[in-house]
Amino acid sequence: MTGGGTRLLTERLMSPLTKPEIINARLDAVGFFLDEARLRDEIRGELRRAPDMPRALSRLALDRGGPRDLAAILAGLAAARGAASLLAGHALPAELDQAVTALGGVPFALEDLLAGLLAEDLPLLKRDGGFVRDGAIPELDELRELRDQSRRVIAGLQASYSEETGVKSLKIKHNNVLGYFIEMTTGTSGALTETPERRARFIHRQTTANAMRFTTVELSDLESRIANAAEKALAIELAAYDRMVRAVVDAAEPIKAAANALSVLDVSASLAALADEQAYCRPHVDDSIDFCIRGGRHPVVEQALKKAQGPAFVANHCDLSPLSGQKNGGVWLLTGPNMGGKSTFLRQNALIAILAQMGSYVPAEEARIGVVDRLFSRVGASDDLARGRSTFMVEMVETAAILNQATPRSLVILDEIGRGTSTFDGLSIAWAAVEHLHEVNRCRSLFATHFHEMTVLSEKLARLANVTMRVKEWHGDVVFLHEVGPGAADRSYGIQVARLAGLPDSVVARAREVLTLLEDADRKNPATTLIDDLPLFQAAVRRDEPKAQKASEVEAALKAINPDDMTPREALEALYALKKQLG
């Protein structure tokens, strides 16, 4: 609901915790709002009106702020007081109780000061003025009246002088030479000079053919005040602005604490709302090395499917917990078809670990997670050409970092190690990497691969289990079930995926032929068999099949000829005969 809450959520996602007691304190806060649905909605409604206090405070502290930043502080303080009021009287978990204490630490005098001075409609810049409310400063009100309603003020003064002297034709006028002055006809001017008091009060300025002009100290002062009203009004407002800024900066620490508290409330309430809407469960996080997820889902893919109104996301289990009698977690070797969901399965379990250790409920039916000290991933394909690194080199650098740094408490996900080089090189590297993870790192690992030969490792490595993405074939097509189950895949269904991607039918058909040749041919020299059956030569052979026997008769005739025993005429006749045999 707030900018501060967004930043706190990002910070927590980027920095998952490793201490179960702090993780569970955050989960307690989420659980409280999950149970108190009505209170959660009220708190979020209050937070929705709260501006970004930390940003406003930093701008004011750096003298780069404006009246709207002061209004943001005021609105934030109001939201803080409202949230504290809503939570008062509830038995709160520790994290929320600390937040409520921080909300009450801001001096109410600051809120009163800002509320008493700031207008409703505020300019962007302080130099524009108009940000102090009417009635807050009497002198400012008077200057504004002079500035904005000078005609009315002059008219009122004219009426006052006319009534005082009894001269109805008395006028107050203005020109660029005299400024403001009182003008009356020569015949009526005696009313201003008939007594010493009047002569002292109305000072003669100028006589014309038909009129006489006077001024007064009051009119001169009014003229000066009107001329300087706008400048003085802005000066008074700027002084009020400086006073408000000083008060805000002096209270910076309690304001920061209150802003952080609002962010904590925002994140906890929002995660509770998410858990309620999406049926997330509270993970059990402890100091063990368990990792058991029942009915786990990918938090992003699931939402994408719902948004697209696609099929429901298929939940899957994952159990890397120690086997009976073993000290460390297990390794799952995941095989299965392309597009079957291997990468999604790997990533969803890593994301569940991150969500759990940041203090959030997780997309699963049940989750039991021993604290993960480090999460390593090697997924996707990328290069770093500027540094001279190919795609395969980047893959190996990342794999090296994992194998050199992973500990028994780590969680590792690896997707298709060794695919960027030759088949036997890649298989060898992947094979050795799995053995190293199992025997040396001894960490919880998910290893997805298309090297089906590696499934025999389960007979050698006690904590390695073979799992696969299930599929069904129907009338030559493959149906991806997106379910993880025990066992190993016998093939990858890459050609079916290629057909789904839109490869031409001729390419798909030829690919099936080549795949059959490779599977059936002698493994000692598959390249020779493949080259002999390339489409160009295959087509030529099929076109010339009726002449294949003729070619063998020609060869036999050639073998029977001994050129050394033939005369030139005989050699020429033999050549014609061979040509005739060829037709």
Q: Do domains 3-106+251-275 and 139-230 have the same CATH topology?
A: yes
Angle formed at CA 198 by CA 196 and CA 201, multiple of 5 degrees: 110
DSSP codes, 282-335: --EEESS--EEEEEE--HHHHHHHHHTT-PPP--EEEE-PPPTT-SS--EEEEE
Residue 369 has pLDDT above 50, yes or no: yes
> How far apart, in Å, are the Cα atoms of 221 and each of 140, 161, 170, 181?
17, 15, 19, 12
Whole-number pLDDT of residue 17: 97
The better pLDDT of the pair 26, 338 is held by: 26
Residue given tokens 């991607």 in the structure block: 501
Alpha-carbon gap, residue 4 to 344, rounded angstroms: 31
For helices 423-436 and 391-405, angle between their N-to-C axes, nearest 10 degrees: 20
**CA 296 to each of CA 283, 365, 483: distance values in angstroms, whole numbers, following the listed order:** 11, 7, 11
Amino acid (one-letter) located at 580 = K
pLDDT at position 325, please?
A: 58
Residue 567 main-chain phi, psi, to 5 deg: -80, 165
Cα–Cα distances (Å) from 13 to 346, 358, 419, in that order, read 18, 6, 31
- CATH code of 139-230, in short, is 1.10.1420.10
Q: Determine which of 44-48, 261-265, 393-397 has the lowest per-residue pLDDT on average.
A: 393-397
Per-residue pLDDT tens for 70-110?
Answer: 999 999 999 999 999 999 989 999 999 999 999 988 888 89
Task: Please say whether the beta carbons of 47 and 1 come within 8 A.
Answer: yes
Residue 574 in this model has a pLDDT that exceeds 90: no
Long-range contacts of 201-205 (CB under 8 A, 24+ apart): 205/178, 205/181
Question: How far is 398 from 186, CA to CA, in rounded Å?
Answer: 103
Q: Give the per-residue pLDDT at 546.
A: 47
Q: Does domain 279-499 have CATH number 3.40.50.300?
A: yes
Are the C-beta atoms of 89 and 204 separated by less than 8 Å?
no
Q: Which CATH class is domain 3-106+251-275?
A: mainly alpha
Q: Pinpoint the alpha helices (H) of 49-118.
A: 53-61, 67-87, 94-103, 108-117
Please indicate, yes or no, whether the overall pTM of this predicted structure exceeds 0.85.
no
Q: Which of 163-177, 380-394, 401-415, 569-583 has maximum average pLDDT?
A: 401-415
β-bridge mates for residue 182, sequence order: 172, 214
Distance CA 513, CA 7 (A): 56
The predicted-structure confidence for 523-551, as pLDDT tens digits, reads as follows: 445 444 444 454 543 444 444 444 444 45
Give the DSSP H or E segment for 157. Answer: helix 150-165
Summarize pLDDT for 325-336 with one digit per residue, the tens.
566 668 999 998
Domain borders along the chain are 3-106+251-275, 139-230, 279-499, 504-543, 545-582
Q: For the chain, what is the mean pLDDT?
A: 87
- Token pair of 87, please? 């939570």
Instruction: Give the DSSP letter of residue 127.
Output: G
